[in-house]
Amino acid sequence: MPEPLLDLRHLQMIRAIGRTGRVTDAADELGLTPSALSHRIKEAERRLGVRLFERLHKRLRMTAAAEYLADASDRWLVEMERVEADVRRMNNGMDHIVRIAVEAYSSYHWLPGFLTYFHDKTSGIDIQVMAAAGRDPLQALSNRQVDLVVMSGETSMREARRWPLFDDPLLFITPPDHRLAGKAFIGGPDIEGETFITYTKVPEPDREFARLFRAEGYYPRWGATVELPEAIVELVAAGQGTSVLAGWAMRPHVVSGRIAAMQVGADGIMIPWQAMARGDEPDDGPVVATAQHLVDWCATAEGGF
């Protein structure tokens, strides 16, 4: 990487010399020896390729370049001091941040309830939701971009810690006025020829493709592949197709009347959801504590996703 031109030490040096005008006084202010400060001046001038100070008797006079840097550094350092003060105030009482991602879905209607429960049970831990990591949460977990992920089904990640959270039904969703809306469940003959918007065309052994389409020998007509469940909901609500998505994420849309939702198959398809963390997370650490609170919250009557 290219060598940076100036760093914080150089900016502080320019400000100090600008205030005092003398190497000895500026060195004393910065806690340096005069020779060390002289060396820093030469280093800054070498990096920039310009003169910063001119000697006038026993004082230093700033060149135009140094005056410009001093003015800019004043504004920059003042802003940094404000940022540091803001961070200290905002992070008051928080010792740890646990970063959470949820597989595939950007539905966070559950988050206010969980945070209320969480902050009532613990202190010193803050939650940061990493929505973008939901597209590949296991990779984000492995790369230490997140600390805790909420996943469905079985996963192949080794050396991971797991906490079962809840079982959730897959739901077949349609527009409210669709011919299938209101049925007790959706069987194979129902979906024959239906325009189907899918999250992925890669069959999974515990999902609708293997347990309904292939099992009963009936198939919908593939419409679009949309890798964002919330966009699928919009398309279904607009009458542009049907889909199968997680029940917990569809619940607010069903309650609002935007879509209709039915059980998939006569026996239903239940999907286990779990929290996962890296295997090296300590038992007494904030990540494990957060995972356990999530388990406890999901088990409450008002909890769960």
Three-state DSSP at 131 gives helix
Radius of gyration of the chain (CA): 30
**154/103: higher pLDDT:** 103
Which residue in this structure is represented by tokens 């879509």?
259
172-207 pLDDT, tens digit each: 999 999 999 999 999 999 999 999 999 888 888 889
Whole-number Å distance between alpha carbons of 197 and 160: 33
Whole-number Å distance between alpha carbons of 20 and 268: 79
Q: What contacts 81, CB < 8 A, 6 or more positions away?
A: none
Question: Where do the structural domains in the chain lie, given as residue ranges?
Answer: 8-90, 95-305
Ramachandran area for residue 268 (φ above 0: left; ψ -120 to 50: alpha; else beta):
left
Nearest alpha carbon to residue 260 among 193, 194, 174, 162? 174
Whole-number Å distance between alpha carbons of 107 and 231: 12
Residue 252 reports pLDDT greater than 80: yes
Residue 303 reports pLDDT greater than 70: no
Whole-number Å distance between alpha carbons of 194 and 105: 24
What is the 8-class DSSP label of residue 121?
H
Q: Which of the listed CATH numbers 1.20.1090.10, 1.10.10.10, 3.40.50.300, 3.40.640.10 matches domain 8-90? A: 1.10.10.10
Ordered DSSP codes for 10-41: HHHHHHHHHHH-SHHHHHHHHT--HHHHHHHH
Average pLDDT of the chain?
90
Nearest alpha carbon to residue 104 among 250, 206, 260? 250
The model scores a pTM over 0.75: no
What is the 8-class DSSP label of residue 210?
I
Residue 1: per-residue pLDDT? 45
Whole-number Å distance between alpha carbons of 2 and 219: 58
The domain defined by 95-305 carries CATH number 3.40.50.720? no
How many angstroms separate the most distant Cα atoms in the chain?
97
Nearest alpha carbon to residue 250 among 268, 226, 269, 233? 233
**175/143: higher pLDDT:** 175
Whole-number Å distance between alpha carbons of 250 and 111: 15
Whole-number Å distance between alpha carbons of 56 and 35: 18
Q: What percent of the chain has pLDDT over 90?
A: 61
CA-to-CA separations, 22 to 26, 38, 72, 218, in angstroms, rounded: 6, 11, 21, 87
112-132 pLDDT, tens digit each: 999 999 999 999 898 999 988
For residue 262, give the H/E element and its range. Answer: strand 260-264
Nearest alpha carbon to residue 133 among 111, 108, 175, 103? 103
Residue 137: per-residue pLDDT? 92
